[in-house]
Amino acid sequence: MSTAQNRAAPEHVAIIMDGNGRWANARGLPRALGHRKGVEAVRETVRAAREAGIGFLTLFAFSSENWRRPEAEVNELFGLLKTFIRRDLADLNRGNVRIRIIGDRVRLRDDIRELLLEAEDATVANTGLTLVIAFNYGARDEIARAAAHLAAEVQAGRLKADEIDAQKLNDSLDTAGIPDPDLIIRTSGEERLSNFLLWQAAYAELMFVPEFWPDFTPEIFYAALDRYAARDRRFGGIAPSALAIGS
Ligand code: FPP
């Protein structure tokens, strides 16, 4: 049976939490209840990630495309993030969890922006799990903002255009200082990245599980970690076994 400790844990797991709406629809409930149940799955997953010794857990909580949803649902998602931070911050702090937020904060309301900053500041010295919350996040937008930042550096004379390389772009992303995800999990059976961590996903293992996000449990998480541990990651090289045969 899968438990928290019986495998080599990936350093960084990122999750596309999909299927809250379908979970609710299947039960004849309003979509908002699916999102609320989704927050419980967030708490359980953070606990499971800590127990498994994972360094970074990134959760896709609100995409830059989610603004297209009805205003009431957008407000619900904002409200849930606010409540989560208010209610869980002390617990997360006690658990040595550091919070980082990625995404564009410019379009966010002042109260949300301040709360996100407060959560980051309050946990900045924590050395356990880093919980990265992707909020108003879109990978293309993140890459475009990084490119604009580098262009401004060139314009100001602090950088030469031909000094721009993959490392400099990487260091200008919201995820600067965070290692690339080793494993990206998407729930609900959909098999796409939907503008999530496109740059950082270059060598990530992708895993798609059929359960809707509110039904995601530590057991499903640990089973995914087991499947990850069995994968052969080559980063463009060749497997050591193939090297031995060829020599
Ligand atoms: C996808 O389900 C889920 C979201 C767009 C939001 C995820 C948000 C939470 C779980 C709650 C807030 C998060 C935190 C970190 C406190 P969907 O609505 O797209 O489902 P559907 O595809 O079935 O309609």
Cα distances from 224 to residues 19, 100, 125, 131, in angstroms, run 18, 24, 30, 19
CB 101 near ligand 1, within 6 Å: no
Q: What percent of the chain has pLDDT over 90?
A: 89
Question: Quick one: pLDDT band at residue 247, thresholds 50, 70, 90?
Answer: very low
Cβ of 20 closer than 6 Å to ligand 1, yes or no, is yes
pLDDT band, residue 235 (cuts 50/70/90):
confident
**Sheet with 12-16: strands ordered across:** 98-102, 130-137, 56-63, 12-16, 183-186, 205-208
The Cβ of residue 184 has, within 10 Å, a number of other Cβ atoms equal to: 22
CA of 19 to the centre of ligand 1 (A): 7
Cβ 46 under 6 angstroms from ligand 1: no
228: CA distance to ligand 1 center in Å? 24
CA distances 44 to 10, 40, 192, 214, 217, Å, are 18, 6, 24, 10, 7
Q: What domains are defined for the chain?
A: 3-138+179-246 (3.40.1180.10)
In this structure, the chain runs to a length of 247
Continuous segment of H or E residues that includes residue 57: strand 56-63
20 has catalytic annotation: no
Atom of ligand 1 nearest to the CA of 84: 16
Please give the pLDDT value at position 9: 86
What is the pLDDT averaged over residues 48-57? 97
**Is 66 tagged catalytic?**
yes
Quick check: 20 and 38 in contact, CB under 8 A? yes
Query: H-helix or E-strand containing 150?
Result: helix 139-155
> What mean pLDDT value characterizes the chain?
94
- Is the pLDDT at 73 greater than 60? The verdict is yes
Pick the catalytic residue: 66, 126, 170, 195? Answer: 66
- Which atom number of ligand 1 is nearest to the Cα of residue 23? 23
Only one residue has tokens 């390389």, namely 165
Probe target for ligand 1 pocket from 17, 62, 100, 216, with the most ligand atoms within 8 Å of CB: 17
pLDDT above 70 for 244: no
Angle at 10 between CA 6 and CA 12, to 5 degrees: 140
User: What pairs with residue 137 in β-bridges?
Assistant: 63
Tell me, what's the pLDDT at 236?
Answer: 81
Please tell me the pTM assigned to this model: 0.94
Do residues 16 and 185 lie in contact, with contact meaning Cβ atoms separated by under 8 Å?
A: yes
CA distances from 45 to 4, 66, 131, 180 (A): 11, 23, 11, 19
Q: With 0-12 CB in 10 A as exposed, 13-18 as middle and 19+ as buried, what is 89?
A: middle
